[in-house]
Amino acid sequence: MTPGTATLTVKGKGNYQGSKEATFKIAKASQPMTVKAKTASVKYTKVSKGSSKYLTISKSTGKITVKKKTPKGTYEIKVKVTAAGNSNYKKGSKTVTVKVKVK
């Protein structure tokens, strides 16, 4: 069903007479999104410039960048993924932790 207001009418039949109307609201469903994080490995010579201490994430593309001269090791960054709502679903978001290994 589409979210909104609906009306139910029950009418008597046979030996039963009369009718009764009830109005109820149909709410939007929760966003059925799933997000999976994975570990990515990058070679030290391929890391790109970032603006934070070691890792940054682009808010528009979701691309994670690693700052030059980052020491070898495993780093974590939290990524929040948001899905816009529509006529049937509420707006939703999930946060995952992505591990980046610098070799």
pLDDT, tens digit (0-9, with 9 covering 90-100), for 12-70: 999 999 999 999 999 998 888 777 766 555 554 444 444 367 887 777 777 788 888 88
Helices and strands per DSSP (H, E), number in the chain: 0, 7
The model scores a pTM over 0.85? no
| Domain assignment of residue 6, yes or no | no
∠ CA(93), CA(94), CA(99), 5° rounding?
145
| Domain assignment of residue 60, yes or no | yes
| Domain assignment of residue 57, yes or no | yes
| 8 A C-beta contact, residue 44 and residue 73 | no
| Domain assignment of residue 8, yes or no | no
Domain membership of residue 59 as a residue range: 29-102
- Rounded Cα distance, 16 and 61, in Å: 63
| 8 A C-beta contact, residue 41 and residue 103 | yes
